[in-house]
Chains A and B, each alone.
Chain A
Amino acid sequence: MELNKLERYWLTAVGMMLGAFVAATIVALLFFGIRLPSPVDRIDPQRLEETVFANPGIRQLAGNRYEAYVVAKSWAFEAGPDLGTPPVLRFPRGAEVTFYVTSKDVMHGFQIEGHTANLELVPGQIAKTTVRFNRSGEYAIICNHYCGAGHSVMYATIRVE
């Protein structure tokens, strides 16, 4: 196909732009350690009591690292009887927390205000994300995936102190 001069310039510009996008994405994935969530494990949502989610809540690991197990159900987050309803999760400043979250019924969401943590909670799947809390303050955990009548009041709180 014959192209005139302007058309060729334009195609070259578009090609270069695309090249730059692709390069930026590859660099981001390979070098900056930007990771997309990947499957952790599957789970039977009707038998959570036979799994680690039987006792949701916070586990302290070595250093300033934690694991938090949270169950989402219509329409509340559950993190064990000690943390209240809706639960309040407390961490010291600088804590690095790995969240393991799953849903007991329909789809829910899990987003931490002010941080890059955003999970789809698909029943039958365990979702995982790691967050470092560098600023003290109070941050909402928001159910951001429509889950029925109580969707807009489904939340929990993180207190970093």
Chain B
Amino acid sequence: MATISLAHQLPTNPRSLTMVMRERYLVGAHIITALIALMFGIFMGPFQAFHRSPTFVRYFPSIPIFSYYYQAVTAHGVMNALFFTTFFIIGFTYFVVERSLQRKLRLGSLAWVAYVSMAVGLVMMLATLLTEPQRSAVLYTFYPPMIAPALFYFGLVLLALGSWIASAIVFLTYRDWRREHPGERVPLAVFILIVNLIVWDVATIGVAIELVFMLIPASLGILQTVEPQLGRTLFWFFGHPLVYFWLLPAYVSWYTMLPRQAGGKLFSEPLARVAFLMFLLFSVPVGLHHQFSDPGVSASSKGVHTLLTLIVSVPSFMTAFNVGAALENAGRNNGGKGLLGWVWKQRWGDPIVALQLFGMLTFIAGGFSGLINASSQLNATIHNTSWVPAHFHQTLGGAVTLTYISIVYWMLPAIRGRQLFSKKLALWQGITWFVGMTLFGLSMGEAGLAGAPRRAVTSAAPYLSERALFWLDVTAISGLILLISSILLYVNIVGTLFFSRRPVEAGEIPITTRSGDTRSPLWFERWGIWLGVLGLLLLMAYGPVFVEMLTYEWNILRYVPVINTPMR
């Protein structure tokens, strides 16, 4: 079973659970770095939840981390949302692309250049967070005119730079494959990952412009003034597609791996491709729905983005049906009868399947709270309250993270060449995470409706109602459950890396090397066309916004002075 090959080759069996040396180092470096970033981020989370709870702080007033709330939230957001995700996604993409296309990455050694760039970025970021905690507490959205030390932004630039090199490598690899396989459809997993990297590359242009032309010059003292409304708009040009960048790799697992892991098959591959082309077109020109309350953006542009936002909910509904049908198929194959019998007949005892199912359950709740965010009027009641972190902990912290962890549970053994330390721990980790995130979503959501702001030491806030304070206490309980879950996760990771003795079990990775899809038109893969359409949509949705901002009657970047120390 185990396919031993020379160090520079690919495994002869693309589904082999054993990695060859090259894969092991490259993919392993990305995944393990991702897990280190997540570790820095994740262990802040429960303490934030504790610190927000008045009752908890009354009984335990002097936990050291409590002197650094905003520093902790900055580290939590930056490490989890930016570094963990990017490292994980790039490593996962390399692995799936190589195995599915059965060819080595083009310019594979550049992949190490990309890795080093991102890793140096991570080190710079950690160094700033630790050595300049006061000045770097600008949170992961780093809105001007609050300005952090330059190292903070350089860390982000290096992360983006590495990810651009990585996507170039993937695109070139695909192009070679495409030339050699005329008339064939690329396997769905690769199709999704290409869409994902295109979305990412386009979106990061916005934040790169903000970093290079506004934030870095301001932090170096070259600019004394900035334009906050423009900065925020450039950030959200990036910030919304960012959530699809997180989500699509999880969809790779749900669409192309879970059906086989669960014992069924995908309902419709052509519809899947349509859904992802919609993500490609509509996930960028919608950023203004994060800026409904902004004074400097006209209502008509906000209206356009609202309509486009409704459209981008369509592919997620298509996913619900397509993946749901695959699971129904699996449940019936496993002997499920009647209307809902297939739900119970899933492989709930297998952590790799169960974590993804838990992820989907939290995603359903998260998706609906997302539609509420998107409807502009309801948005005014929850904007910037703790409803918002409630929402994205169900989607990002719940669905996406659970799915990534389920991937880690098969990938880490493949990297290490040893079995997972404990399947039972893995299952309990999934259960506690699911319960914790659900309670977190409920309580933070309720607290938000009762007026509790996000990003605040609510236990010290003098203005909150009894009801808000009650739900904040409940959040602390969810934080405790999630702390236990995080410990279980890292026990299993450390156990697998250092203490697992048994060699990898028989089994396979559900990689598809040949698309079974014969119906999708081949022009689905004419990426030039799609980029053109995306360009037009962006011109329509963002053109007027930027024109409005760049033609302010007074000189752009002239009036608002930089503020260097948010803590004083």
Contact = CB atoms under 8 A, between A and B. Distances in A.
Contacts of B294: 37, 120, 122, 125
A155 interface: yes
Given A37-B293, A116-B381, A124-B559, A155 B463 contact: yes
Interface residues of A, number: 61
A119 B293 contact: yes
B563 A105 contact: yes
Interface stretch (A53-61, A90-98, A141-149): A141-149
Interface in A101-158: 105-107, 109, 111, 113-114, 116-128, 140, 142-149, 151-153, 155, 157
B145 interface: yes
Nearest to B553: A42
A36 B292 contact: yes
A152 B458 contact: yes
Interface residues of B, number: 70
A96 B463 CA distance: 23
B8 interface: no
| Residue with the greatest number of chain B CB neighbours at <10 A, chosen from A4, A28, A145, A152 | A152
Nearest to A121: B295
Contacts of B526: none
B260 interface: no
Contact of A124 (B381, B521, B553, B560): B560
Interface string A1-26: 11110110011001001100110010
Interface in A18-50: 18, 21-22, 25, 28-29, 34-40, 42, 44-46
Nearest to B457: A152
Contacts of B299: 35-38
Interface string B320-335: 0100000000000000
A146 B456 contact: yes
A155 B462 contact: yes
A2 B517 CA distance: 12
A122 B377 CA distance: 20
A18 B310 contact: yes
A36 B376 contact: yes
B455 A151 contact: yes
B146 interface: yes
B61 interface: no
A159 to B, nearest CB: 13
Contacts of B563: 105-106
Interface stretch (B301-309, B345-353, B401-409): B301-309
Interface in B542-559: 548, 552-554, 559
A140 B229 contact: no
Interface string B361-404: 00000000000000111011101110000000000000000000
Contacts of B380: 116-118
B561 interface: yes
B56 to A, nearest CB: 15
A126 B383 CA distance: 18
B519 interface: yes
B520 A42 contact: no
B460 interface: yes
A17 B379 CA distance: 21
A147 B453 CA distance: 12
Interface of B: 70, 137, 139, 143, 145-146, 227-229, 232, 267-268, 270-271, 291-299, 302-303, 306-307, 310-311, 313-314, 317-318, 321, 375-377, 379-381, 383-385, 451, 453-458, 460-465, 519-521, 548, 552-554, 559-561, 563, 566-568
21 contacts: A2-B519, A3-B270, A25-B307, A25-B310, A25-B375, A38-B298, A107-B145, A109-B453, A118-B380, A118-B384, A120-B294, A122-B232, A123-B145, A140-B451, A142-B451, A143-B453, A144-B454, A146-B70, A148-B567, A152-B460, A153-B462
Interface of A: 1-4, 6-7, 10-11, 14, 17-18, 21-22, 25, 28-29, 34-40, 42, 44-46, 105-107, 109, 111, 113-114, 116-128, 140, 142-149, 151-153, 155, 157
- Which 9 residue pairs across A and B have the least CB separation, nearest first? A148-B566, A140-B463, A127-B295, A144-B453, A144-B384, A38-B299, A152-B456, A125-B295, A146-B455
